[in-house]
Amino acid sequence: MAGIELARALREQPGVEVVGVAAKHSQPPPDPWKPPIEVRHMKMRRLAMYELWHRFRRADIRDATGAVDVIHATTIAIPPRTAPLVVTIHDLAFLTEPKNFTKRGVSFFRKGLAIAWREADLILVPSTSTMQACLDSGFEEERLRLVPMGVRVEVAADALVTDTKARYGLQRPYILWTGTMEPRKNLPRLLHAFGKLAPEMDLVLVGPKGWKENIDRLLAGQRPDIKILGFMDSMDLSALYAGADVFCFPSLEEGFGLPVLEAMAQGTPVVTSLGTSTEELGRGAAVLVNPRSADSIMEGLRRVLDDPALRAQLSEAGRQRASDYSWTRTAQLTAAAYREAAG
């Protein structure tokens, strides 16, 4: 959804006309994922298009778009540079912890990184953590631009929260986690920490299955009060954030950590990780824990759950922090990069 929000905000920027480029698809995306801008399609499907881009530097996007002033690769899938090139690098976790990704994924990302290093005029990064990772990997500082993501601050109504909790069978207080189920999200330690907390709480996990994480195996022998809800739309997710007693996001590495801001926007107290980009978002507005220690995660959760005054303080501080991050600001910084790259 971040790409959709950015496209919607860019549409409102003066002097900027944005056209999306996509691979060939057999049918349009469902409404929640329908882009708010015009999208033109290449003649090949996604895997073939990516192979042509990264291996052969072919499949010119101008075949779909016509002439453009700037190409923006919003991920590390990078088309041929037939105009000034802006690339967004969200994180470099595939370099620091390659075992957490598939072999094919690491190969693809490495090729994209090499292309960005050779060809990109500007590199956009969402956090100072990712900026430092790019510097460490050899990018020159003068090519890097800090462009944090934004968040919609629309508090879910009480009636929606009540209805959503009822539909998902959430009758007790709960801790919420959201994300793709993959190794760097640190679910094993979260489950271990939850197992040490009082039994009157539920743990709710929201998000799609990813790679290299067998959730059924992880849940074997765990408490029965762990609920797997899978992927859900943004309205239901906002209500689940708002209804949670605490949101826990103990990732080992993140490029930005948008779920932290989404929880803060709903006034939900947050427990998240030291030593990664979520520390930047959470400093002074969340309880920060060592993500490599289940005991640290457990103690962080216990601090919040046992202290109503702390919960109220974090709720207010989180709302204030979320208000500092808007998609309009993200779009302004992105449009400025376009103008700089285009000269």
C-beta separation of 281 from 134 below 8 A:
no
C-beta separation of 80 from 57 below 8 A:
yes
At 162, list the tokens.
């009540």
C-beta separation of 247 from 226 below 8 A:
no
C-beta separation of 246 from 197 below 8 A:
no
> Which amino acid would we find at residue 252?
L
For 284-320, the pLDDT digits (tens) are 999 999 999 999 999 999 999 999 999 999 999 999 9
Residue 1: per-residue pLDDT: 76
At 106, list the tokens.
């690491």
pLDDT at 234 over 80: yes
What string of DSSP letters covers 5-29? Answer: HHHHHHTTSTT----EEE---SSPP
pLDDT category of residue 213 using cuts at 50, 70 and 90: confident
C-beta separation of 121 from 337 below 8 A:
no
Q: Give the mean model confidence (pLDDT) for residues 11-15.
A: 94
Domains in the chain (CATH in brackets) are 2-150+327-342 (3.40.50.2000), 158-323 (3.40.50.2000)
257 in helix, strand or coil? coil
pLDDT category of residue 246 using cuts at 50, 70 and 90: very high
32 burial via Cβ count (<10 Å: 0-12, 13-18, 19+): exposed
Specify which residues 91 forms β-bridges with: none
At 72, list the tokens.
């923006």
For 176-188, the pLDDT digits (tens) are 999 988 899 999 9
